[in-house]
Amino acid sequence: MERGPPRGLRAAGRRSEGDGALRAGQPVEPAPQRGPVRRGARALDAGEWLGFVGLNFARPESIELAPRSVEICWWIDPSAWGRGYATEGAIGLRDEGFERVALDRLWARYQVANKASARVAEKIGMSPDRVTMGRHGEEMQLASLSREQWERMGSPGLT
């Protein structure tokens, strides 16, 4: 899979190359040491609020992962779906997770029927791992990306 830098402002708040459409800069809330990180996402052209991307400690009671496992998540307003914002924000936060937070592995979870989130996970380099049951009995796909896999991708890094 060939990758390029995100098109807009990176999730870490640093400008990347390109003429991007996403501004994902300031944290939505303070983040404790290695705790949750959430970045707000706004469109660069109009400044409209689009949602946010985040790194969270996975709740082991809701998904079957070891304690203190970290998952990446994206919540984008439906009016902005299909325009690459989730992928752009997730790339920036994925890189921040491996570079600044020094993660060994990053997880994502999404409903099996959610093909759009499956595509985002694939575009940021994740591979399906296993299917488990969510809190409400829904089938949830777990996908992951290891540090070694991320390094082989030739990440552009934070500048």
Q: What is the pLDDT of residue 30?
A: 36
> For the whole model, what pTM was predicted?
0.72
Residues 23, 43 contacting (CB under 8 angstroms): yes
Q: What is the pLDDT of residue 34?
A: 43
Q: What is the pLDDT of residue 1?
A: 28
Angle, helices 115-123 vs 85-99, to 10°: value is 40
Q: What is the pLDDT of residue 35?
A: 52
Q: Domains in the chain and their CATH numbers?
A: 22-108+146-152 (3.40.630.30)
Tokens of 25: 């800069």
Q: What is the pLDDT of residue 63?
A: 63
- Residue 69 CA to residue 59 CA, distance in Å, equals 8
- Interior CA angle at 13 toward 121 and 154, to 5°? 50
Task: Tell me the mean pLDDT per 10 residues along the chain, length 159.
Answer: 33 34 41 55 70 82 69 90 91 91 91 96 96 88 94 67
Q: What is the pLDDT of residue 91?
A: 94
Task: Name which of 74, 56, 58, 76 is nearest 66 in CA terms.
Answer: 58
**Burial label, 148 (beta-carbon count in 10 A; 0-12, 13-18, 19+):** exposed
User: What do you get for the CA distance between the two ends of the chain, in Å?
Assistant: 22
Tokens of 39: 């970045």
